[in-house]
Structure 1
Amino acid sequence: MAGQVTAVSRNEGYSFSKPNRDSIRLLTGLGVEGDVHAGETIRHQFRMTYEPNLPNLRQVHLMQEELFDELAFKGFQVSAGQLGENITTRGVELLGLPTGALLRLGEHAVLEVTGLRNPCSKINDFRKGLLSEVFAMDPSSGEFTFKSGVMAVVRCGGIVRPDDPIRVESPPPPHRPLERV
């Protein structure tokens, strides 16, 4: 599976959306340089209050641009960075990757996928009704569907820019499906 980076974003402070940038620098074991969520331990604002020493499995947030196409069809205008992602992609089925898949971005950067982003209620503050479009329960199976991207850790740092290629490497079997992190 091959794809492309369509946008990169970071924000120094806590806010729902992240401004797009010309490039971002990924730092091994930390995340996006200058981003509020970078660090060895958890940086998620809510979870830091009760689990401050957990390893940061949410260093980099990736989201598939195809979701924006789906949302536009349903009347929601959303663009890169607005849902808080660091890297927006096209042509990679992020939600179908197994835990531990490696994403090679550009010349040097390597991310390891750790799990699904758990959408929060702030999505409805951004666009009323949007949460139900990115988080839903399948009535037939009772399983939840999470569409708001995946989380990853930086295994090899480097500069990432829009239009960089993305190459996917699956871990050895047996593959574990993604779970919320």
Structure 2
Amino acid sequence: METIIQGKAYVLGKNIDTDQIIPAEHLVYSLSDPEEVKLYGKYALSGVPPEQGGLPEGNIPFIREGEFSSDYTIIIAGPNFGCGSSREHAPFALKVAGAKAIIAESYARIFYRNCVDGGFVIPYETAEELNQVIKTGDELKIDVKANTIENLSRQVTYKLSALGDVFSIIEAGGIFAYARQENLMAQS
């Protein structure tokens, strides 16, 4: 897994729920059919109301029309990201769309666990309201080992909460891969 993640920011507000991350009508696609899996990326964050997504001066879509992946690899959000139902498809859809990390003030517990258990995206926490100072489209660089995020567009660096053992689980590809890697369960 990368220890330096660089890409564009996509900034959201607070209380982004799982139905906004991947609306229920898009949960019909097969997880084993590669063509249908791409549709999870296509519809990622498609339920976010315009007043909560993108730049204040307009509704910037996370996924451009006709695309299956996003130009934005780092999501910046306020508190309570991933609230709502315990839908495991939500972090999966973000991963398929190309997101590598989410930085939020806090997460709904089940969403956070789903990110880690599936090894989908890195869920960083921060005590700062980064969604108030980072803008959609800013070029960012996360140093996973140093737990920092640098806004390359504005030349400012912020500290992130340490991931602890979470990084090892995500790096392994999820909780089951980690358990096998650490000989915590029978090999199959």
Tell me the TM-score normalized by structure 1: 0.26
Q: Which has the higher strand share?
A: 1
With a CA cutoff of 8 Å and minimum separation of 6, indicate the structure with the bigger relative contact order.
1
Please, what TM-score do these two structures have when normalized by structure 2?
Answer: 0.25
Normalized per residue, the structure richer in helix is: 2
